Structure 1
Amino acid sequence: MTETKISDLLIVGCGVAGLSAAVTALQAGLSVTLLERADAENFGGNSRWTEAYMRMKNDAEIADDFEEHFAENAGWNIDHNVLDALGRSYEDWPANVRAHSLPDPEVISTFAGQVPETLDWLKGLGLSFGPQPIYLLTQNTSRIAAMGGGLGIITRLMEEAQALGAEVLYRTTATDLLRGPDGTVCGVQANGPEGTVRDIPAKAVVLASGGYQGNPEMMTRYIGPKARHIRPVAPGGYYNRGEGIRMALDHGAAPAGEFGSYHAEPVDPRSRQPEAVVFIYPYGILVNRDGRRFADEAPGTVDAHYDNIGRSFADQPDGIAWVIFDAQVEDIPRWKTAIRSDVPPVEAASIEALAAAIGLDPAALAGTVDDFNAACPGDDGGFDPFALDHRRAALTPPKSHWSRPIVKAPFRAYPIISSNCFTFGGLKTDPSARVIDVDGKIVPGLYAAGETQGIYHRVYTGSTSVLRGLVFGRQAGRHAAGLN
């Protein structure tokens, strides 16, 4: 069956990116159709579950390191000829550079520059932003958050979209792009609530359907066999199955971002809570199933390193690690805020008893703890849980900060797995969120925003993913309406 109504803009996905595009376009007078895989009670994918932290000093200024962090993590072993080309005007970039997977400086500059205006727009819709408590005990950048979190954002944007006349098709999944005789994207093929396939035409399409963390086939294809150990951090991630990325790649879109990586968080696998994070490990040690340490637990502030450390859990036997710590943790004010699991730690009166309780070899764990204790610096009173204290345990691997012998009962342990907030791989876009093909040309009529847009490599620039969706969703809506 073929639809006869032709919307000005068809948007795939109802998270912060899709809804920002929708409301922006509707305010400009365009007609909009939204597709959402979930039902009305569960729309929004990851956006529904995030607290929407933002890398900002306040609601009008981004953090000082915003663009710098992206530049430092633009990719691996980048060709110097590519970097040289980036110094020219955008119009003079070779095709291979336009289609390169690294984040364009123009895209990041636009991102940074548009954040304050985007938050002003949201404040005009009644949303507010400001400092909020965070579970990270140490930070190397500044953050604010949306009051009401991601759920508050998408609820308000959906209300506005529907008030302005958007059509919302729930339980509907886009499966392919429709293209006209000249190659312009002119709608999507979709699978509806009854399992029937239909064409939904539109003058342009925004892909804002998330990443592929909910698709085990794509996770294994891009991240490898260890993907079997990795699960989404929150229920919304299971709706992100990668169709938006796949269909665009099938039509010649350029890939961008690091497809073999993802934003990881350390999560207690016993908990049913969304984002049941355990960030207490900088004050203890991490061991694997064999009772051996495998990482520097504290190379710096936890916000700067938990991404890499969290990914390393998936490389361990059975994809699991344990954080081992002792009663000295009670010396750390607010230490329980670093743990969001609703399941208490395993406790025991000795390291050997703790090992037996969590299924590790008692002799192996005791030996690891003894080696760590012997390598810790003496008790000089310099332990400072909220600043880099340089109390280094000199062993392999080292522990760079916050090293104290684990000696005071009760001894405690949490299991931790690598949990996937979102995948890094996505589609290459220009600053207006227009999708670029493998030859460096614009794919006419096609936009991408949010997790579907690829910009992250190496280490996630923390607290920017919600901002990315908001800014580039809005950029897509504005461009479709002829405003940028």
Structure 2
Amino acid sequence: MGENLSRRSFLKGAAAGTMSVAALGALAACSPSGAASEAAAPAAAAAGEGLAETGSYDVMSQMSLLNRNMTEGAVAAATPEEFIVQKGDGALQFAPGGDPLGITPADFMQNVPAWLGEAPEITDIAGTESCDILVIGAGNAGSVAALRAQEMGKSVILAESQTYDEYDEYACDMACYNSKIFLDKGTPEVDPIDVMNEYVRKALGHVNLQIVRDYAFRSGEMLDWMMADHIPAEYTEKYAKTSNYKGNENFSGQCAGQWSWPAMTQWRDEETNINMWPFVIRSLHTSLENLGGKVAWGYQALRLIQGDDGAVTGAIFQDIDGNYQQIDAKAVIVCAGGYGGNPDMRLDLSDSMRNLAWAYGADRTDPEMIGGMGRDGSGIRMIMWAGGTMEAGPRAGMSIGKNGAPGFAFGGAWPCFGPEGKRIYNESMYKFGSNGHLDLMPDDSLLVNVTDANWETYLSYQGYGHETMDRSSDYMVEEVRQNMADYQTGPDGFPVRSFARFGKEYSNVWAADTLEELADIVGYTGEAKENFLAEVAHYNELCEAGRDTDWGCDPQCLFPIKDAPFFASFGATGGQPSNGLVMLSGVNTDGQYRCTDGAKAAIPGLYAAGNTCGNRYGIQYGTPTAGNSCGFALTTGYCAAEAAVNDLA
């Protein structure tokens, strides 16, 4: 690499920001291994070499000798002045690292993992048809993408693996900002810049900014388009529930530095509380067909078709009768969902889940160690066979982990006490599913949420994530109020309508006339009971002072526990690490939803939306508004269709 650039001078340049990425790569390629590998026997670079006699890899060959008798006569500096002299020009020194052990792909990783394999060769095509734009998957993203593209003048086929009669969809909550259905009810308009920046902050910048921007700026437009033009007014009037549109009158808009906004629409039948969206979304399919488009039901996508230039020109499917069908297209939008239902893809791709299992001492090579649900990952496989790539990690599930605080049936964020009777964290930090702090606790650790007679007043100070009651749902609020008014004290508890559930489900809440009795009910005894009573008294002092010097709870959420009756919800930690509803990672795309290869170049004719599309959440799911996963999916389908149509034009 040249005699005039020593490793020391390189480090000085890198610290000053003067080295290019190419120079960094060149250094890695040509630099010596350093003192550690010079002093130790070099490990073999070739696979299979470097094995100890036992048949295992010689891991001891990687033990560093850095600063182990390397400098003859070395004496530690006794004063700052001596230290400065020793440092000379001040360049930072790094251990260069040792040589690899030569671990074979079978023992470590595969560039073509077993779950991916090779694209199937299919020749006996029973039938062929064509369209301008082929959309694969009729969930939220695909249904919107197909309809939007057809409406914009392109011929569209929407292919769905489920049959028409069996079709179902587990989407429910959809957060769409500044939609007309909210604004018409007096909900203040949200600044989309604030929305965009909040999602980027929660992802620590680890997102595709254009996708996040589209969601913040265009999700309301998308919902208005669906409801005004394609969903019958009678369905909207009867089923569309604008959650929290009345707002929590005492909520400031921010909590613990985090924004939260009312923007979630649900589709519920009031009498049964059943989620009606899987039925209502069929209206989009009807509109598609009325405009001349087609839905191919029972079509399981197997692989994409590519020309000699790499452009995607359609896909091959297996229909419900087992025949192979080919659909040729000028553009393909893959909206086939994620890979939460594929245990092997979860195991390999979700580093967060795999290593969480490992952190519990479980076998992280066993797919059964990490539970999950969702789609089969077939869309992602097809895109990768076509040259697409997965987004970088960490790759998490929607609620990766094992433990969450045992919330009340009506929601809310409440003081949480641990197995020793002491409060254990900041309950006002909005989250979804697991809390990492709780995942560090041993299994079977008691967790207790506590509130008092003022529970509903306290809820009015909380935001619009999954930790709140929908105070706009009068038919449920009234029942919950009555359930709580009819409370029964004692160890058996009493049932309360579960707010987050579809259908009429109930969860137990426990009540007592005194905190001492409540401690007995939840299982605090001896010192733990004494701690609990003292901790509640201390917590009430923090509430009176208006500052939580223990855990930093937002002052607006400091709710004293002082007026009988006292209520508790409790449970124990433990269980199996799980991804929750869906995986959050997908394939890489550019700013126009075009799938990209390893060089980040667009693959002609290939687009992704919904959970197939990656770089929406970064490190973990966040809920400035509950329901943003479905809102994201709908919006990406809307925008991907426009991108494909514009490219064809």
Give the structure-2-normalised TM-score: 0.56
In the alignment, is the contact (CA less than 8 A) between 1:74 and 1:103 conserved in 2?
yes
Q: Secondary structure at the match of 2:383?
A: helix
In the alignment, is the contact (CA less than 8 A) between 1:63 and 1:143 conserved in 2?
no
Q: Secondary structure at the match of 2:339?
A: coil
Measure, in 1, the Cα distance between the counterparts of 2:221 and 2:564.
52
User: 1:295 maps to which residue?
Assistant: 425
User: 1:324 maps to which residue?
Assistant: 449
User: 1:89 maps to which residue?
Assistant: none
Match of 1:460 among 618, 622, 631: 622
User: 2:569 maps to which residue?
Assistant: 413
In the alignment, is the contact (CA less than 8 A) between 1:326 and 1:408 conserved in 2?
no
User: 2:267 maps to which residue?
Assistant: 148
In the alignment, is the contact (CA less than 8 A) between 2:421 and 2:532 conserved in 1?
no
User: 2:129 maps to which residue?
Assistant: 5
Q: CA deviation at 1:206?
A: 1.0
Are the structure 2 counterparts of residues 462 and 282 from structure 1 closer, same or farther at C-alpha, using a change threshold of 3 Å?
closer
User: 2:645 maps to which residue?
Assistant: 481
Measure, in 1, the Cα distance between the counterparts of 2:202 and 2:416.
27
Are the structure 2 counterparts of residues 179 and 57 from structure 1 closer, same or farther at C-alpha, using a change threshold of 3 Å?
closer
User: 1:54 maps to which residue?
Assistant: 176
**Higher strand proportion, which one?**
1
In the alignment, is the contact (CA less than 8 A) between 2:610 and 2:637 conserved in 1?
yes
Q: Secondary structure at the match of 1:476?
A: helix
Superposed CA RMSD: 4.2
Q: CA deviation at 1:447?
A: 0.6
Residues 86-105 of structure 1 mapped to structure 2, 5 A cutoff: 102-105=206-209
User: For residue 328 of structure 1, what is the amino acid of its counterpart?
Assistant: A
Match of 1:404 among 560, 565, 569: 560
- Structure label with greater radius of gyration: 2
Measure, in 2, the Cα distance between the counterparts of 1:217 and 1:107.
28
In the alignment, is the contact (CA less than 8 A) between 1:293 and 1:368 conserved in 2?
no
Match of 1:307 among 413, 425, 432: 432
**Larger RCO (CA under 8 A, 6+ residues apart):** 1
Q: CA deviation at 1:285?
A: 0.9
Q: CA deviation at 1:315?
A: 5.7
Measure, in 2, the Cα distance between the counterparts of 1:314 and 1:186.
47
Measure, in 1, the Cα distance between the counterparts of 2:426 and 2:380.
35
Q: CA deviation at 1:428?
A: 2.1
Measure, in 2, the Cα distance between the counterparts of 1:370 and 1:56.
45
In the alignment, is the contact (CA less than 8 A) between 1:352 and 1:366 conserved in 2?
yes
Q: CA deviation at 1:421?
A: 4.0
Are the structure 2 counterparts of residues 259 and 177 from structure 1 closer, same or farther at C-alpha, using a change threshold of 3 Å?
farther
Match of 1:246 among 367, 381, 391: 381
User: 2:362 maps to which residue?
Assistant: none
Q: CA deviation at 1:259?
A: 4.8
1:444 aligns with 2:604: yes
**Bigger CA drift: 21-30 or 219-228?**
219-228
Q: CA deviation at 1:75?
A: 3.6
Measure, in 1, the Cα distance between the counterparts of 2:510 and 2:335.
44
Q: Secondary structure at the match of 1:296?
A: coil
In the alignment, is the contact (CA less than 8 A) between 2:176 and 2:219 conserved in 1?
no
In the alignment, is the contact (CA less than 8 A) between 2:241 and 2:265 conserved in 1?
yes
Q: CA deviation at 1:448?
A: 0.6
Match of 1:30 among 154, 179, 182: 154
Residues 324-363 of structure 1 mapped to structure 2, 5 A cutoff: 324-330=449-455, 332=457, 337=469, 339-340=498-499, 342-347=505-510, 349=512, 350-356=517-523, 362-363=525-526
User: For residue 122 of structure 1, what is the amino acid of its counterpart?
Assistant: M
User: For residue 16 of structure 1, what is the amino acid of its counterpart?
Assistant: N
Measure, in 1, the Cα distance between the counterparts of 2:201 and 2:323.
47
User: 1:121 maps to which residue?
Assistant: 225
Q: Secondary structure at the match of 2:558?
A: coil
In the alignment, is the contact (CA less than 8 A) between 1:203 and 1:445 conserved in 2?
yes
Measure, in 1, the Cα distance between the counterparts of 2:439 and 2:377.
21
Are the structure 2 counterparts of residues 116 and 378 from structure 1 closer, same or farther at C-alpha, using a change threshold of 3 Å?
closer
User: For residue 67 of structure 1, what is the amino acid of its counterpart?
Assistant: M
Measure, in 2, the Cα distance between the counterparts of 1:278 and 1:268.
17
Measure, in 1, the Cα distance between the counterparts of 2:565 and 2:224.
52
1:180 aligns with 2:303: no
In the alignment, is the contact (CA less than 8 A) between 1:57 and 1:63 conserved in 2?
no
User: 1:71 maps to which residue?
Assistant: 200
Q: CA deviation at 1:116?
A: 5.2
Residues 246-265 of structure 1 mapped to structure 2, 5 A cutoff: 246-256=381-391, 259-264=394-399
Match of 1:217 among 333, 340, 344: 344
Measure, in 2, the Cα distance between the counterparts of 1:135 and 1:345.
27
In the alignment, is the contact (CA less than 8 A) between 1:67 and 1:109 conserved in 2?
yes
In the alignment, is the contact (CA less than 8 A) between 1:266 and 1:278 conserved in 2?
no
Note the alpha carbon deviations across 1:308-364, whole angstroms, 9 max, x for none. Answer: 7556656655599744214435463768936525233252653454334xxxx7457
Aligned residues: 428
Measure, in 1, the Cα distance between the counterparts of 2:135 and 2:444.
37
Unaligned runs of 5+ in 2: 1-123, 184-188, 255-259, 269-276, 358-367, 461-467, 471-497
User: 1:386 maps to which residue?
Assistant: none
In the alignment, is the contact (CA less than 8 A) between 1:58 and 1:144 conserved in 2?
no
1:284 aligns with 2:444: no
User: For residue 633 of structure 2, what is the amino acid of its counterpart?
Assistant: G
User: 1:93 maps to which residue?
Assistant: none
Q: CA deviation at 1:408?
A: 4.8
Measure, in 1, the Cα distance between the counterparts of 2:382 and 2:370.
24
Measure, in 1, the Cα distance between the counterparts of 2:613 and 2:457.
40
Percentage identity across paired residues of the two chains:
21
Give the structure-1-normalised TM-score: 0.72
Q: CA deviation at 1:178?
A: 2.6
**Bigger CA drift: 241-250 or 223-232?**
223-232
